[in-house]
Amino acid sequence: MAIRKIRVIGDECLTKVCRPVTEVTDRTKMLIEDMLDTMYDAGGVGLAAPQVGILKRIVVIDVSPEGDSPIVLINPEIISTSGKQTGEEGCLSVPDKSGIVTRPKKVKVKAFDIDMNEFTLEGEDLLARAFCHEIDHLDGHLYVEKIEE
Is 33 noted as a catalytic residue in this protein?
Answer: no
- Which residues does 31 contact at the CB level (< 8 Å), separation at least 6? 49, 52, 54, 56, 58
Instruction: Kindly name the residue from 66, 122, 134, 148 that is annotated as catalytic.
Output: 134
Q: Which residues of the chain have pLDDT under 50?
A: none
Domain-by-domain residue ranges, the chain? 12-146
Q: What is the pLDDT of residue 7?
A: 98
pTM of the model: 0.95
Q: Which residue, 120, 127, 132, 114, is CA-closest to 45?
A: 127
Q: What is the pLDDT of residue 79?
A: 98
Q: What is the pLDDT of residue 65?
A: 87
CATH number of 12-146: 3.90.45.10
